[in-house]
């Protein structure tokens, strides 16, 4: 699979139509780099891909399944769009060069949000694919493994923090095919239970009683699980309502002055401090106004003119003082010419030249008397014009700015104080917030308790199901009746035994391959001084063990934050490799929690090798600077998410922040 285009229309923060061209314009360049600041729509692009392919099922990865699908679709309609029509689409090609475009669209219709899915195959709408897309996409991109290819790098760090590996165990089952076997076993067990009721006579009454007791226990646990799930389902909307009420109350609290009413005395002190600063600023202004240089600064141009006139007058006086000397020198030169030169014509020419020079010199001397400055006065004027003007002007500008800031701060405090004259309103809202926070914590605890109870009951049920299979097998062995129900029960028991054995052998075979892939990925990405040398996976329990150079067991708290993140990335990469699917990799927040020692390996080793197509959604503090130039030779195209503060929406434009690259 290779993505060729992603298109968003009125989706989330993107108003109007925006598209990202992902066609490969450079050979051997597999990375598309999309840059954007936090909150500017990077995760929205990742959500759009999940939503386009999987619809309602995508909520598990996008919102953890907490919101209703209609609510989710409604919240992703751009609030400032000119119409309510919204769609997301992804275009891709398969290895056989067949092209597809999947378009998922919806719009508001009262309380409902009707959704439409259209699939185009080789640019022609295919109604069969549109109706059966959920089945077709499982062949191209199974939902269970999609999160190994499309993921938020900051969220996958939870894998490294999960001490029990429960989440990753389910992922391992999906990759090695155990999930399919579990579904088959569920169907077989259901058939056996249905047929079990049809068997009326069994020679071994003790086994019948044991079987009946076992069924009662399973039924009771099923009821308990159902009750726990219903309780949890009831708690989730309550938690959402309380969280919404808490958010609304906090907004009211801050709109009405926030903790101003609670901390009124402190704010009064702040006001007094600002008043003192105001008086000090006024005194500084008065001192500046009475500075002896200030009046002269006001007539700066006149000062410059006077200074220039004085300098010119000084030069004229110098000319006047030197005129007699020059005349004397020229007269003596004339006499020398007469004595030394005998050619009358040449004498006349030289005398004429000397007279012309004397005339030019005399013409440059003015008889008018200008302004005269003493040397000390001249130096004072120069100093005033050189530094005094700048000092007075900059001091006046700074004082003006401080006065404006002080006045604005006083106006804001006065406005808040006048709008919150009494403390009781703020205190009442603050108490409400604290009550709602306690309610939120209680509901979260109850939901967690339900989750733990459901997990415990599921474990108990697994034990009872194992006992039930053994009982059914023993019943089938002693029941020689030839009727179909008995034979079906027997075959069901044998099927369960065979499939459980097959499941175990499959796990042992596939887990070794997965263990090898994850270990190799970790060694490839980790810093050479990493204390982890091997990663082992138990074929039966799927527990993961880390080992050091001496073969000892390492606990995850012994790993650095960077090693934990590399460990999580290695698991994701190893699972993707073991799945056998060639699918583009989409990474949001790529450098999350990575230290500098591991960022180099992530940029230079993981991104160029993660897949034949890699889409990176990065901030300007992640893939930037030296990391950007290290990866440049692998980048096919660059995009930047530009946010318009006035319109409150984001646009997708070519280029990467302010960097320029030759495409």
Q: Quick one: what percent of the chain has pLDDT higher than 90?
A: 12
Residue-wise pLDDT for 528-555, tens only, equals: 666 777 888 887 777 788 887 777 777 7
Q: Give 288-334 as a 3 state SS string.
A: HHCCCCHHHHHCHHHHHHHHHHHHHHHHHHHHHHHHHHHHHHHHHHH
Say yes or no to pLDDT of 86 above 90. Answer: yes
Could you tell me the pLDDT band of residue 659, with boundaries at 50, 70 and 90? low
Q: Say what the pLDDT of residue 66 is.
A: 62
**Vertex 308 angle, CA 305 and 309, to 5°:** 85
Residue-wise pLDDT for 322-337, tens only, equals: 767 777 777 777 777 7
Q: Say what the pLDDT of residue 117 is.
A: 94
CA distance 526 to 598: 7
Mean pLDDT of 47-60: 90
Could you tell me the pLDDT band of residue 472, with boundaries at 50, 70 and 90? confident
| Strand-strand pairing, 585-588 and 150-152 | parallel
Mean pLDDT of 392-410: 82
| Segment of 42-56, 265-279, 292-306, 382-396 carrying the highest mean pLDDT | 42-56
Higher pLDDT, residue 253 or 569: 569
CA distance 634 to 33: 10
Mean pLDDT of 220-227: 89
Say yes or no to pLDDT of 426 above 90. Answer: no
Q: Say what the pLDDT of residue 192 is.
A: 73
Average pLDDT, the chain: 79
Q: Say what the pLDDT of residue 323 is.
A: 66
Say yes or no to pLDDT of 353 above 90. Answer: no
Could you tell me the pLDDT band of residue 367, with boundaries at 50, 70 and 90? low
- Which range, of 119-128, 195-204, 220-229, 403-412, averages the lowest pLDDT? 195-204
Question: What are the start-end ranges of the H helices in 388-423?
Answer: 389-419
- Give exposure, 415-439, as e/b (b: 16+ Cβ within 10 Å): ebbeebeeeebbeebbebbeebeeb
CA distance 462 to 377: 104
Residue-wise pLDDT for 484-512, tens only, equals: 666 777 777 788 788 888 878 877 878 88
Specify whether the CB–CB gap between 225 and 462 falls below 8 A.
no
């Amino acid at each position: 699979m290779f993505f060729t285009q992603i298109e968003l229309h009125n989706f989330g923060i993107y108003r109007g139509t925006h598209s990202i061209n992902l066609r490969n314009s450079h050979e051997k360049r597999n990375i598309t780099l999309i840059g954007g600041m936090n909150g500017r729509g990077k995760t929205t692009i990742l959500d759009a891909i999940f939503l386009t392919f999987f619809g309602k099922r995508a909520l598990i990865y996008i919102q953890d399944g907490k919101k209703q699908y209609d609510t989710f679709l409604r919240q992703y309609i751009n609030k400032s769009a000119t119409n309510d029509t919204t769609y997301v689409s992804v275009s891709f090609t398969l290895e056989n060069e067949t092209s597809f475009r999947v378009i998922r669209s919806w719009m508001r219709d009262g309380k409902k949000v009707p959704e439409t899915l259209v699939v185009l195959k080789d640019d022609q709408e295919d109604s069969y694919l549109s109706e059966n897309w959920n089945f077709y996409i499982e062949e191209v991109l199974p939902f269970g493994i999609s999160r190994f290819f499309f993921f938020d790098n900051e969220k996958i760090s939870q894998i490294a923090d999960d001490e029990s590996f429960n989440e990753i165990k389910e992922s391992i089952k999906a990759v090695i095919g155990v999930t399919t076997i579990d579904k088959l076993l569920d169907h077989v067990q259901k058939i056996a239970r249905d047929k079990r009721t049809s068997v009326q006579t069994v020679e071994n009454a003790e086994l019948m009683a044991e079987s009946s007791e076992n069924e009662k226990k399973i039924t009771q646990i099923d009821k308990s699980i159902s009750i726990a799930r219903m309780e949890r389902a009831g708690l989730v909307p309550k938690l959402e309502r309380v969280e919404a009420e808490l958010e609304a109350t906090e907004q009211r609290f801050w709109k009405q002055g926030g903790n101003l009413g609670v901390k009124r005395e402190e704010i009064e002190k702040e006001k007094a401090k600002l008043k003192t600063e105001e008086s000090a600023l006024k005194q500084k202004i008065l001192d500046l106004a009475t500075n002896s240089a200030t009046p002269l600064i006001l007539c700066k141009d006149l000062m410059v003119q006077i200074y220039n006139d004085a300098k010119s007058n000084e030069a004229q006086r110098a000319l006047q003082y030197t005129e007699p000397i020059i005349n004397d020198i020229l007269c003596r030169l004339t006499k020398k010419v007469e004595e030394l030169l005998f050619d009358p014509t040449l004498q006349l020419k030289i005398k004429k030249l000397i007279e012309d020079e004397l005339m030019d010199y005399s013409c440059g001397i003015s008889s008018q008397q200008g302004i005269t400055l003493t040397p000390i006065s001249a130096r004072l004027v120069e100093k005033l014009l050189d530094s005094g003007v700048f000092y007075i002007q900059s001091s006046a500008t700074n004082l003006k700015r401080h006065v404006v800031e002080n006045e604005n701060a006083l106006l804001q405090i006065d406005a808040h104080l006048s709008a919150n004259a009494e403390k009781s309103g703020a205190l009442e809202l603050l108490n409400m917030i604290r009550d709602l926070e306690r309610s939120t914590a209680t509901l979260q605890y109850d939901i967690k308790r339900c989750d733990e109870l459901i997990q415990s009951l599921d474990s108990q049920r697994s034990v009872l199901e194992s006992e039930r299979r053994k009982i059914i097998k023993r019943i089938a062995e002693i029941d020689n009746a030839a009727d179909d129900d008995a034979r079906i029960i027997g075959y069901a028991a044998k099927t369960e035994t065979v499939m459980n054995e097959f499941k175990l052998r499959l796990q042992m075979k596939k887990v070794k391959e997965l263990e090898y892939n994850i270990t190799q990925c970790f060694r490839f990405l980790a810093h050479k001084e990493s204390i982890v040398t091997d990663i082992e996976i138990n074929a039966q329990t799927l527990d993961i063990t880390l080992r050091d150079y001496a073969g000892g067991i390492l606990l995850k708290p012994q790993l650095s934050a960077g090693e934990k993140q590399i460990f999580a990335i290695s698991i994701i990469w190893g699972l993707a490799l073991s799945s056998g699917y060639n699918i583009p990799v989409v990474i949001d927040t790529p450098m999350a929690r990575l230290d500098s020692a591991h960022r180099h390996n992530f940029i230079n080793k993981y991104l160029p090798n993660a897949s034949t197509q890699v889409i990176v959604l990065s901030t300007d503090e992640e893939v930037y600077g030296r990391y950007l130039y290290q990866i440049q030779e692998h980048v096919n195209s660059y995009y930047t998410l530009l946010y318009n503060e006035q319109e409150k929406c984001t646009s997708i434009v070519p280029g990467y922040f302010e960097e320029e690259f030759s495409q």
